[in-house]
Amino acid sequence: MEEQDKLLNEVTQREYQYGFYTDIEMDIIEKGLNEDVVRTIWEKKNEPDFMLEFRLNAYRKWLKMEMPDWAYLKIPPIDFQAISYFAAPKKKPQYESLDEVDPELLETFNKLGIPLEEQKHLAGVAVDAVIDSVSVKTTFKETLAEKGIIFCSFSEALQEHPDLVKKYIGMAVPVGDNYFAALNSAVFSDGSFCYIPKGVRCPMELSTYFRINAANTGQFERTLIVADEGSYVSYLEGCTAPMRDENQLHAAVVEIIALDNAEVKYSTVQNWYPGDKDGKGGIYNFVTKRGVCRGVSSKISWTQVETGSAITWKYPSCILLGDNSVGEFYSVALTNHHQQADTGTKMIHIGKNTKSTIVSKGISAGVSDNSYRGLVKVLPGAVNSRNFSQCDSLLMGDKCGAHTFPYIEVGNKSSIVEHEATTSKIGEDQIFYCNQRGISTEDAIGMIVNGYAREVLNKLPMEFAVEAQKLLAISLEGSVG
Amino acid sequence: MLSIKNLCVSIEGKEILNGINLEIKPGEIHAIMGPNGSGKSTLANVLAGREDYEITAGEITYMGEDLMEMAPEDRARKGIFLSFQYPVEIPGVPMVNFLKTAVNEHRKFKGEKPLTAGEFLKVMREKKALVEMDTELTNRSVNEGFSGGEKKKNEIFQMALLEPKLSILDETDSGLDIDALRTVAHGVNALRSKDNATIVVTHYQRLLDYIVPDHVHVLLKGRIVKSAGKELALELEEKGYDWIKKENGEQV
Ligand SMILES: Nc1ncnc2c1ncn2[C@@H]1O[C@H](COP(=O)(O)OP(=O)(O)OP(=O)(O)O)[C@@H](O)[C@H]1O
Ligand SMILES: [Mg+2]
């Protein structure tokens, strides 16, 4: 009991200490974007000098760039001057109790099996001290510190570990890489930073921690993960609960650096609000995710389950620089109603004997459009490299679209690139077969779709694989028969 | 148990069944024979609740209830089992998951507690022995890569697990080798009781040597044109369908 009281005390007094978002007093600055705004962000956040240069450089590049139009997406015009580029202070809880929350949202939470306390957090209900999760967080943080692992908000990292950030920021995604990455580099508000020291195996999925904070993710987030020589980390981003946000545009950047013999496994479950059945009000998600396998025999593995957002523009990629390095991309992207997704990967083979694997499973329903876009590029020096790509599309109904855009460039003769693609329709026969065994149509669809995506789901950490399975089934409710 | 009156069914405007009448009592075995395309599978599918068909007339009563009002999954839960002529593959869905879900749906419907994984595996082992189902097969995805005969065996294995009241076996014998045919037939007989009934759709007398029918019906162009005892199957084996077609005024 005493233990609990102590904990409770700690919690109420230092609620944000273990969170990702430093609780700075913030005022919203004028809408619009110019050099002064960039400067103000830097000033207010009290960042080191190199960050001003970084941000301004990015802003100047962004000014000269145009929004990309090559994706198979219909993107409504975005007024970048109508956005306020400084993170608003944390919202006050909107509700006093769960009774006030949209019952439909609660039903989804229940179907996903999200614990009650977490439901409150996600729905924006005032929460009492969440003993469980906070105590988990505390022990968590201690365990990490013992191993010398740094895991904190980006703002904190800039204060506490500026040299590390300076050394690696922009290494995977240069400021002028693309329109949205440039914008993010100029104005990003916060995000997370993770450093695993030499030879350390991170003893837990960096996920429980993140999940609690997931509801507060910013509009322009930045994540930097550095795995030093011989280290390993598995990192999970996102949340299966449907996430609403008043900001329509999201442009995040994730960078991963893996040094010699290091391995990073990055898993995402993305379920941003996709808009209503007519597609109104959904989130536009333009993300740049890239990992550099800098060291020999390093490995970066992306696993993503994408079910949300009105528009998804996302290509988690690997630059295989070190000899014998390995890149992997496992993806399930589901679109329903009016959702549009253009997603895939780039595998750039530079080092010798580099290997990459791509497994993409698209699922389209309703009147949605789902595209896979992938580049496999093997440079002349990347001798004896290998790629295997498998891109499957599953269609539900006949009003949706599935598209595959593979680009393959091989610069030497000793490398082998294989590409396989299939398109299939969810079978009435399969559904009827399940029905005939006493399984409802809804459950049957969930089962069939999960079977189709199994290869990718198997790559997720166990706990999230289970949630992701439910999520796929729920996202397709009412889409057949 | 099952009563079909004047059942007329069409698909895409084409009439396939026109006026089927059939009465099935608990404990009985009915064989349905007839040339290719005469509508046997259509009848089986309509009973199981497949939606592609338009029922233009007639009524079907199952255990005192209007069958047409029931969703296919409810028919299954209420004891109707169809052994498919062409069982489908469901890639990535492990047999064990599929079967456990099916069994537990049946249990839920009856108000019974769901079986745990351990309990289920035990039941599964028993039933596997009944039809000599290979463990290697139950470790795969549903029907994936199964040979024709293995698929049919798998159907009867599922029948054993679900313990239906009315089983409809649509050409379960085709594709089975001689030994498998005997095993499967033995399994079906072992599951027989005075409370359940079986409809056997087949082209061959061979199966009926093992599963002995009480009644044999001949389906021709969507109608049952002849019904008799088991000796009718022998007669058909010997003479084919021409004489029946002639009797029904068809040009042969
Ligand atoms: N989906 C469909 N569209 C059009 N015609 C169909 C369809 N399904 C069945 N038919 C037609 O209905 C008729 C009866 O088919 P059914 O499968 O019931 O025959 P069957 O007696 O089972 O034949 P078999 O002995 O070859 O299995 C056939 O002429 C078939 O072509
Ligand atoms: Mg047939």
Per-residue pLDDT tens over the stretch A29-66: 667 889 998 998 898 889 999 999 999 999 999 999 99
Name the minimum distance, in Å, from the CA of A433 to any CA of chain B.
7
Q: CATH number, domain at B15?
A: 3.40.50.300
Which residues, judged by CB distance below 6 Å to any ligand atom, belong to the binding site of ligand 1?
B 11-12, 16, 34, 36-42, 52, 85
What does the pLDDT average to over A306-325? 92
| Cα(B57) to centroid(ligand 1), Å | 19
Ligand nearest to the backbone CA of B43: 1
Distances (CA, A) of A154 to A83, A97, A261, A300, B34: 22, 32, 25, 21, 75
Residue-wise pLDDT tens digits, B188-206: 999 999 999 999 999 988 8
Give the position, in ligand 1's atom list, of the atom nearest the Cα of B44: 18
Put simply, the answer to whether B76 touches A430 (Cβ < 8 Å) is no
Distances (CA, A) of A404 to A72, A377, B51: 10, 17, 33
- Interface size A-B, in CB pairs within 8 Å, comes to 76
Put simply, the answer to whether B87 touches A433 (Cβ < 8 Å) is yes
Closest residue by CA, ligand 1 atom 9: B42
Q: For B109, which residue in chain A has the nearest alpha carbon?
A: A438
User: Higher pLDDT residue, A99 or A419?
Assistant: A419
B229 CB-contact burial (10 Å; exposed 0-12 / middle 13-18 / buried 19+): exposed
Residue-wise pLDDT tens digits, B117-135: 889 999 999 999 888 888 8
Q: Is residue B228 in some structural domain?
A: yes
Q: Is residue B174 in some structural domain?
A: yes
Put simply, the answer to whether A434 touches B50 (Cβ < 8 Å) is no
| Cα(A263) to centroid(ligand 1), Å | 57
Q: For B49, which residue in chain A has the nearest alpha carbon?
A: A436
Could you tell me if residue A471 is left (phi over 0), alpha (psi between -120 and 50 degrees) or otherwise beta? Answer: alpha
Ligand nearest to the backbone CA of B40: 1
**Is the pLDDT score of A135 beyond 60?**
no
Write the DSSP symbol of residue A99.
Answer: G
Which pTM was predicted? 0.81
Q: Is residue B252 in some structural domain?
A: no
Residue-wise pLDDT tens digits, A331-354: 999 988 888 889 999 999 999 999
Q: Is residue B189 in some structural domain?
A: yes
Domain count, chain B: 1
Q: Is residue B212 in some structural domain?
A: yes
At residue B22, φ and ψ (nearest 5 deg) are: -155, 135
**What CA–CA distance (Å, rounded) separates B237 from B218?**
12
The confidence score (pLDDT) of residue A476 equals 81
Q: Is A405 helix (H, G, I), strand (E, B) or coil?
A: strand
**What CA–CA distance (Å, rounded) separates A86 from A44?**
9
**What CA–CA distance (Å, rounded) separates A33 from A228?**
36
Distances (CA, A) of B244 to A257, A296, B63, B226: 79, 79, 33, 8
Closest residue by CA, ligand 1 atom 13: B37
The confidence score (pLDDT) of residue A73 equals 82
Q: Is residue B138 in some structural domain?
A: yes
User: Higher pLDDT residue, A163 or B245?
Assistant: A163
Nearest to B198 by CA among B182, B209, B179, B185: B185
Beta bridge partners of B200: B31, B169
Give the residue numbers in B contacting A (CB under 8 Å), as ranges. 48-52, 71-73, 76-77, 81-82, 84, 87-88, 90-93, 97-98, 101-102, 105-106, 109, 141-142, 158, 162
- Tokens 């679900």 correspond to B162
**By mean pLDDT, which of A149-158, A283-292, A404-413 is the weakest?**
A149-158
**Is the pLDDT score of B245 beyond 60?**
yes
Put simply, the answer to whether B92 touches A450 (Cβ < 8 Å) is yes
What does the pLDDT average to over A91-120? 66
Residue type, position A403, single letter: H
ipTM above 0.90? yes
**What CA–CA distance (Å, rounded) separates A77 from A277?**
21
Residue type, position A32, single letter: G
Put simply, the answer to whether A433 touches B162 (Cβ < 8 Å) is no
Asked if A363 and A336 count as a contact pair (C-beta separation under 8 A), the reply is no
Domain span holding position B95: 2-247
Residue-wise pLDDT tens digits, A212-257: 343 444 578 899 999 999 999 999 887 666 666 666 788 999 999 9
